[in-house]
Amino acid sequence: MGGAFWGGLLAAMVVVQLLVIWSIRRHRDPSLKIECDSPIDELMPTLAGLTLGTALPGNRVEVHENGAFFDVLLARIAAAQKSVHFETFLWKDGVLGRRLAAALAERARAGLKVRVLLDAQGSKNAGKEVVDAMREAGCRVTFFHKRALRNIGVFNDRDHRKIVILDGREAFVGGHCIVDDWLGDAEDGQHFADVSLHLHGPIVHSLQGAFSENWAGETGELFVGEAVFPPLQPAGDLTIHAVYAKPENSSPAVKILHHTAICLARKRLWIQNPYFIPEPEAIDAFGSAVKRGVDVRVLMPSTSGSDNPMVQHAGHRNFEKLLRCGVRLFEYPHTLLHQKIMTVDGAWCAIGSSNFDDRSFEINDEISLSIADRALAERLDAIFERYAQRAVEIDLETWTRRGTWHKLKDNTFYLLNELL
């Protein structure tokens, strides 16, 4: 038999293998139709149950924006007494990275257990000198899904979470990355905007569990005892549940949470997200929300404000359909808006690491917090309004007249939306 035959056979085998891998890894999406008249803030047990979590009362949160977040984070790390657990996707060598590394190293030298989990792809530029300095001080630094033969089947799966847990008693969750661009106050294109939460109360145990999931997966280590899981008393009056599970043969919990919230909205649904590429089913759900009287708005960076314009172009591909559905779209041209926030009816919010796209919903490891609290929703809506004042609202008539080159980029990059 000739070389052409064997080449064709090999190609066919590769295609079959790819189809098998796809069928194993695919998730069945939930139906985006829910019959329920109850307000979303009364459905926390439902939201928690659907996302494989538990709604925990007795929590307190503080909102921290932009570079001021790191002042609080570094101060609390310095005050830790027993353990520091740090997990992030993006860490680049720079002023911020070296400040943080020094703070972690100092705690390790003081005798604390310091565990640092970095995504191997996102943190590949953390700097050998910085990583070595942490390890020499006693920090245990581990990289998630390193380039290795044993990880070939999961290399595209990234750890996109941003979590810090101190002494098992307080935690931080949000979107902040360890890059100098996150310093400052979003005052120009070199300083990004972001939002993270500082948490106290029983929810900290859930966040410690989320950290343990990937730490144990990479190191095999299970940490136990009061240094990491101390008894926690109520610290406030907020009910929260953490959303991060990825069950086999079903949609990941983060996707279920966001899609359920769309269907439960009755008055207002505001989204702040840097990478907004909803699937067709979600777009239809947005349209249904508008038809039942919901004020649906999305705030995101424009291509000029984004750190990854290809993602914005991929999102542009469905703007016309969204606009025809009645969704209001706002693009911020001045810098990257990196916060990942959804608020519903001024009564509930989700905030965490997840982008509104299927890379986050289906592939990455993410974490979002579901919180029923009107004061917090109001605070987050105020952030939306502040940036929306300087954003450009997209007009349907103008949008349909955008140039051929723009449309070509939109459709081309959309084909890669799960890889961007």
Which residue out of 160, 191, 205, 316 is catalytically annotated?
Answer: 160
State both tokens at 14. Answer: 């590769």
Active site residue 316: no
State both tokens at 402. Answer: 């955008």
Residue 250 has pLDDT above 70, yes or no: yes
Which pLDDT band, with edges at 50, 70 and 90, does 17 fall under?
low
Which pLDDT band, with edges at 50, 70 and 90, does 65 fall under?
very high
- DSSP-based three-state secondary structure for 188: coil
Q: What is the pLDDT of residues 363-390, one digit of tens each?
A: 999 999 999 999 999 999 999 999 999 9
Active site residue 338: yes
Q: What is the pLDDT of residue 226?
A: 95
Which pLDDT band, with edges at 50, 70 and 90, does 302 fall under?
very high
Which residue out of 119, 159, 167, 365 is catalytically annotated?
Answer: 167
DSSP symbols for 232-296: ----SSEEEEEE----TTS--HHHHHHHHHHHH-SSEEEEE-SSB---HHHHHHHHHHHHTT-EE
Which pLDDT band, with edges at 50, 70 and 90, does 214 fall under?
very high
- DSSP-based three-state secondary structure for 368: strand
Closest CA to 377 of 36, 39, 37, 30: 39
Closest CA to 202 of 227, 231, 223: 231
Q: What is the pLDDT of residues 141-199, one digit of tens each?
A: 999 998 877 777 777 889 999 999 999 999 999 999 999 999 999 999 999 999 999 99
Active site residue 345: yes
Token pair 């404000």 in the structure block, residue:
305
Which pLDDT band, with edges at 50, 70 and 90, does 247 fall under?
confident
Which pLDDT band, with edges at 50, 70 and 90, does 15 fall under?
low
Active site residue 358: no
Residue 24 has pLDDT above 50, yes or no: no
Domains belonging to the chain, first-starting first, are: 31-53+239-414 (3.30.870.10), 58-238 (3.30.870.10)
Compute the distance between CA of residue 80 and CA of residue 87 in angstroms, rounded to an integer.
Answer: 16
Active site residue 406: no
Closest CA to 101 of 76, 124, 129, 67: 129
* Portion of the chain with pLDDT greater than 70, in percent: 92
Which residue out of 41, 119, 194, 345 is catalytically annotated?
Answer: 345
Name 297's bridge partners: 270, 328
Active site residue 307: no
DSSP symbols for 200-232: ESTHHHHHHHHHHHHHHHHH-----STTTS---
Compute the distance between CA of residue 94 and CA of residue 126 in angstroms, rounded to an integer.
Answer: 8
DSSP symbols for 323-367: HHHT-EEEEE-SS-B---EEEETTTEEEEES--BSHIIIIISB--
Q: Are 120 and 143 in contact (CB under 8 A)?
A: yes
Which residue out of 27, 64, 145, 162 is catalytically annotated?
Answer: 162
Which residue out of 198, 200, 340, 409 is catalytically annotated?
Answer: 340
